[in-house]
Every structure is written in structure tokens, then in C-alpha cells.
Amino acid sequence: MNRKSLVVWCAVLACLSVAGMGVSGQEKKETAAAAQKIIHFGDLKWTAIIKGCEVAPVSGDSNGEGTPFVVRLRCADGAKIPAHWHPTDENVTVLKGTFLVGMGETFDEAKMQTMNVGNFVSMGKEMRHYAMSKGETIVQVHGAGPFKVNWVNPADVQPPDAPATAAASAKGKS
């Protein structure tokens, strides 16, 4: 093979290598795009958990062992979350409103720290804590499951209000 042919073959191989990398990169981009999932706020499914607070799953499985999850908690103005703890770390970011957080086994408003929009707190597993909202408040919680709430004193927990239709029908029967 002469020198000119060798140069041509090297150039062809180089072009094929570059084209192959482009195709491989394109496949990775398409795979990543297929894995992307946009969650619109209006599509969240809220479930009442205690008086004045609702939770909505955002991503992952909060019940799965060691699986990543994201949930949102929406609380009405003045809602109180009694002292509790989780078996895993809890990471909280305030998205809307003001969220007050206190540490310990007894709800004590005087010991609470104020968290405004954008603030973040990380609480280690089994750390006893409590919270309260000022204004409608939405926080995002993420971590690795299972995400369970263990109440320090279950008698402090106020059950969620009955749905409007159930309350209306119960009122009509009395």
C-alpha cells in the first residue's frame, strides 16, 4: 500500500470513529430524554394526613427500602405537626410560605426556628422534631425510603378534617 492510500484509509477511519461517537452521543441523549419526567404542580395528588396538612408524592417510592423519593407537604396557615421522628434521614426545602421547625419531643413554639422560601434543613434519622406553618406553606421532602412518621405522642395528632361531601351528608343525617 502506498503512502497516499494509507493516508486516505486513516482519514476514512477517523471520520467513521467521529460519526460513531456522534451516534452514540445521540442515543444517550434520547435515552436521557425518555427518562425525563416533568411533574406539573396541578397534577399532584394530595392526600390529607393530619389536620391542616396534605402530602403528595412527586417522585420515587417513599415506602421502598433504600429507594430515593420526593414528596411535598402542603399545610394551611397555623397547622401544627406534633413531635415525631423518621427511621431515615429527612431533607426539607421550603417552596412556599414560612415553615417553623423545632427539635425535641415536646412541641414548644418558643424554640422553633423560622425557615423561609428556599431554606433547607436536614434532620438525621430518629431525630425528634416538630413543625408549624405560617400562611399556606409547601415544603418538599426528599430522602431514601422507607419514609415513615413515628409520633412521639400519638394523642397529640389531630386527624384530618372529613371531606366536605362526607361532612355534609353526616350533617344531613343528624
Least confident range from 10-14, 112-116, 130-134: namely: 10-14
pLDDT-above-90 percentage for the chain: 71
Helix (H, G, I), strand (E, B) or coil at 9: helix
Q: What is the pLDDT of residues 108-124, one digit of tens each?
A: 999 999 999 999 999 99
Chain centroid to Cα 170, Å, comes to 35
Confidence grade of residue 155 (pLDDT, cut at 50, 70, 90)? very high
Check: pTM over 0.95? Answer yes or no: no
Q: What is the pLDDT of residues 20-43, one digit of tens each?
A: 444 445 555 555 556 788 999 999
Q: What is the pLDDT of residues 41-72, one digit of tens each?
A: 999 999 999 999 999 999 999 999 999 999 99
Distances (CA, A) of 89 to 47, 69, 73, 149, 162: 22, 12, 16, 12, 31
